[in-house]
Amino acid sequence: MKITFNWLKEFVDFKESPKEIAGVLTMAGLEVESLVPLRKDEGRPDDWVIEIAVTPNRGDCLGILGLAREVAALTGGHLKPPLANPHASHSGMKRLVDVKIRSPRLCPRYSARIVQGIHMTPAPSWMRVRLEACGIRSRSNVVDITNYVMLETGQPLHAFDLDRLGMRQIIVRQADGIKKFVTLDGLERELAPEDLLICDGDTPVALAGIMGGRDSEVQSDTRAVLLESAHFDPRSVRRTARRLGLHSEASHRFERGVDPEGTIYALDRAAFLLGEIAGGIPLKGLVDCYPRRTKAAPILVRYQRVKELLGIDLTPREIERILKSLGLKIQGRSKIGLKGIPPSYRPDLPREADLIEEMARLHGYNDIPARLPLVRPHGKVDPRLRWERKIRSFLIGEGLTEVINLPFTSEEMNQRFRGLGKSHRSPVSVLNPLVQDSSEMRLSLIPGLLANLRTHVGQKVRGLAVFELGKVFSLQVQSAEGHHHGDAKMSIQEGQHLAGILFGRRAHRGLGKGERSFTFLDLKGLIEGVLETVGMEAQITWASNGSASFLHPGKTAALQRNGSSIGLLGEIHPDLCEQWELPAFLVFELDFEGLVHYARRDLTVRPLPRFPSVERDLAVMVDEAFPAQRIISWIKNLSSSLSEDKALQNEQIAARLLDCSLIEDVKVFDQYRGSSIPEGKKSLAYTISYRAENRTLTDAEVNDLHQYLVTRIGEVFGAQLRG
């Protein structure tokens, strides 16, 4: 929105300079983007062009009158609307032109006046200068006056050549069966049935709120005009303008909402200027069709609520002064507050909170002290939020950086990275994607992290360790209850995942060796740390992961709990690295909701052991594909298996093992393949810790128990004991 400084001063009295008034408007939320001096011309005083960024909810400020109201409220200046030619009743107006609105929802009001005796000439130079300074090209005195009044009032006007309206019957209707229409620019437009038209009988003469028609435009021989001033539905104008790619000064204002009570004043102002500049004779009569008049409800503004929201004490008198400066009509006062009706030109003020926000703006944000409110903490911290903070703190402490990516990806990436759980999950399609690579919602966090890696590799970064904690989306099919078999409905399912990438050189911290590359063991240790943070290390089973085709078959693992997948990790497949022209890197993805669901709820404490532990090593030779976790899980679950073990002859050993839980811990400490190991085999070495809570174990007790374990492992798993 562009205006000139002197033009604004014609509407309101104020003493501030152009730079000062620009600062006042900016601090009040109407940002002045530029302030450009206008050169002196023909002895007129210097002027300034002010360009203001008007937000979409402030359509009232797309006219100088609306900006003058703002300046008057901010500076205390006196508002002085320009002169207009007042209308009067005229019984013969309906014989000259008749107006019917067939779509009152799309056109709540339509007003019109007739001006005769027009002399078509160029507009005076002062008007042309102002219009061109505001970015509007001068055409003729009649057209320039309608544009001039639009800039003054914010109400778009249109002038029809009255003699070219053969029927003289204005009908506002939707296009329906009308397929095409030629606009003022000479282009033929394809119409949709819902487009709103201004018709002369059955002949369209204008696209409502957007542009007039070629056949009814004013020309050099025009002698009488019909001035249109209407209120159109913003959504209808926006939909038609965007579909046709036809943006005009009028549509720009109608899309943001114009004052339905401002149509008459704009007509009277245009009639006055046509009489002064074009020699026109305005008829006294007025046609005003207003089928959808609405009455605004009063809003109660509570004094205590003002204090709660703004944090400052405004007196009732100050509150009333500010509300009146906004144009509110005060209807009642009480001890708790006052009631007022917002003006019709401020549809953005439907609630008490909106009026209080206006008080802060007009009182001055700089005059509101910066202090924290007094808050008494209460309630419990959300468990999910607490675990999010703990996981983030752990990963950041391990040297990873958190990233946040948009939840969109391409169809190709969703097919490649299906996320966790069921592989046949359907992705959620985006109806209007901005780009083709963002046509679906992500099933996995890995595609976004992969894009981060590509960017860093392109910048020659030697190492990268990042993670993301975010949402994934999928379509879930639900059977419809009470319907025939096969009927189903779709719903969007959201899940929260935790994923990360380790690439290249690991940053050196503290004493010790210098930089080294990330390995699979670094990744495994990181995941073990996450599991330990949530207290799930004992619940998780590590298994080989053959379902993730995008991972290296020899450097991958899956995390399971009671047979359900809760995560995966590994090195990316070499073929994909070659396809994407990336070096090898490691990835992981965990079901964060599963982690939170099974996480340790309470902090458990146990006293330090009073008696020492005894350790024994065990080395077995097994098949190459044998997972080391199987023996660990079997030993940890030995208590339940012993109760059904009929082969155990020493009942005293069994009783001690069951009652005292002598097996404290089991760990793998070595995996060996070499000349002494046959091809297709490997050696696994375990350390088993034994401890009793009430005594020191003897070598005889430990040896008996350990020998039993060695024998049973060989029998159960077909493993060969190594010396």
pLDDT, tens only, 516-574: 889 998 999 999 999 999 888 878 888 776 667 889 888 888 888 887 888 999 999 99
What distance in Å separates the CA atoms of residue 181 and residue 212, rounded to the nearest whole number?
A: 10
Is residue 213 scored above 70 in pLDDT? Answer: yes
What distance in Å separates the CA atoms of residue 593 and residue 404, rounded to the nearest whole number?
A: 18
Confidence of residue 95 (pLDDT cuts 50, 70, 90): confident
Is residue 339 scored above 80 in pLDDT? Answer: yes
Q: Kindly report the backbone phi and psi dihedral angles of residue 110, in degrees, each rounded to the nearest multiple of 5, phi listed first.
A: -140, 120
- Residue 377's CB is within 10 A of a number of other CB atoms, namely 5
Q: Is 687 helix (H, G, I), strand (E, B) or coil?
A: strand
Q: What's the CATH number of domain 299-363, 3.30.56.10, 1.10.3470.10, 3.90.1150.10, 3.30.420.270?
A: 3.30.56.10
pLDDT confidence of residue 488: 59
DSSP-derived secondary structure for 552-607? EEEEEEEEEETTEEEEEEEEEPHHHHHHHT---EEEEEEEHHHHHHHS--S----P
What distance in Å separates the CA atoms of residue 657 and residue 535, rounded to the nearest whole number?
A: 25
Tokens representing residue 68 in the block: 């003058």
- With CA atoms as reference, report the closest residue to 343 among 359, 354, 357, 329: 329
What distance in Å separates the CA atoms of residue 641 and residue 643, rounded to the nearest whole number?
A: 5
What distance in Å separates the CA atoms of residue 655 and residue 662, rounded to the nearest whole number?
A: 11
pLDDT confidence of residue 597: 87
3-state secondary structure 305-332: HHHHHHCCCCCHHHHHHHHHHCCCEEEE
Domain boundaries of the chain, sorted by first residue? 2-75, 93-289, 299-363, 383-508+515-598, 614-721
What distance in Å separates the CA atoms of residue 345 and residue 84, rounded to the nearest whole number?
A: 19
What would you report as the CA-atom Rg of the chain, rounded to the nearest whole angstrom? 40
What distance in Å separates the CA atoms of residue 529 and residue 506, rounded to the nearest whole number?
A: 17
What distance in Å separates the CA atoms of residue 88 and residue 271, rounded to the nearest whole number?
A: 13
What's the whole-number average pLDDT of the chain? 88
Confidence of residue 371 (pLDDT cuts 50, 70, 90): confident
Q: What CA dihedral angle connects 114, 82, 146 and 242, to 10 degrees?
A: -120
Would the CATH topology of 2-75 be identical to that of 299-363?
yes
CATH top-level class for 93-289?
alpha beta
pLDDT confidence of residue 570: 92
Comparison of pLDDT for 336 and 646, the residue scoring more: 336
Q: Which residues make Cβ contacts (< 8 Å) with residue 334, sequence separation at least 6?
A: none
pLDDT confidence of residue 492: 86
Q: Is 341 helix (H, G, I), strand (E, B) or coil?
A: strand
* In the block, residue with structure tokens 């004013």: 218
Q: Where are the alpha helices (DSSP H) in 97-221?
A: 125-133, 141-153
What distance in Å separates the CA atoms of residue 635 and residue 654, rounded to the nearest whole number?
A: 14
pTM over 0.75, yes/no: no
Containing 337, the helix (H) or strand (E) segment is strand 337-341
What distance in Å separates the CA atoms of residue 172 and residue 493, rounded to the nearest whole number?
A: 46
Tokens representing residue 699 in the block: 């070598």
Tokens representing residue 3 in the block: 């205006």
What would be the CATH architecture of the domain defined by 2-75?
Answer: 2-Layer Sandwich (3.30)
pLDDT confidence of residue 424: 63
Is residue 443 scored above 90 in pLDDT? Answer: yes
Each residue of 166-204: pLDDT tens digit? Answer: 999 999 999 998 999 999 999 999 999 999 999 999 999
Containing 171, the helix (H) or strand (E) segment is strand 169-174
Confidence of residue 512 (pLDDT cuts 50, 70, 90): low
What distance in Å separates the CA atoms of residue 454 and residue 180, rounded to the nearest whole number?
A: 50
Top-confidence range, 331-335, 542-546, 594-598:
331-335
Answer for the pair 591, 567: CB distance below 8 angstroms, yes or no. yes
Is residue 651 scored above 60 in pLDDT? Answer: no
What superfamily would CATH give domain 383-508+515-598?
A: Bira Bifunctional Protein; Domain 2 (3.30.930.10)
What distance in Å separates the CA atoms of residue 206 and residue 217, rounded to the nearest whole number?
A: 10
Confidence of residue 134 (pLDDT cuts 50, 70, 90): very high
What distance in Å separates the CA atoms of residue 308 and residue 303, rounded to the nearest whole number?
A: 9
Q: What's the CATH number of domain 614-721, 3.30.420.40, 3.30.70.20, 3.30.70.380, 3.30.1340.30?
A: 3.30.70.380
Name 687's bridge partners. 617, 667
What distance in Å separates the CA atoms of residue 420 and residue 590, rounded to the nearest whole number?
A: 8
Answer for the pair 616, 688: CB distance below 8 angstroms, yes or no. yes
What distance in Å separates the CA atoms of residue 4 and residue 25, rounded to the nearest whole number?
A: 14
Least confident of 29-33, 40-44, 466-470, 603-607: 40-44
Top-confidence range, 36-45, 249-258, 484-493, 590-599:
249-258
Answer for the pair 524, 668: CB distance below 8 angstroms, yes or no. no
Q: Is 279 helix (H, G, I), strand (E, B) or coil?
A: coil
Q: Is 387 helix (H, G, I), strand (E, B) or coil?
A: helix
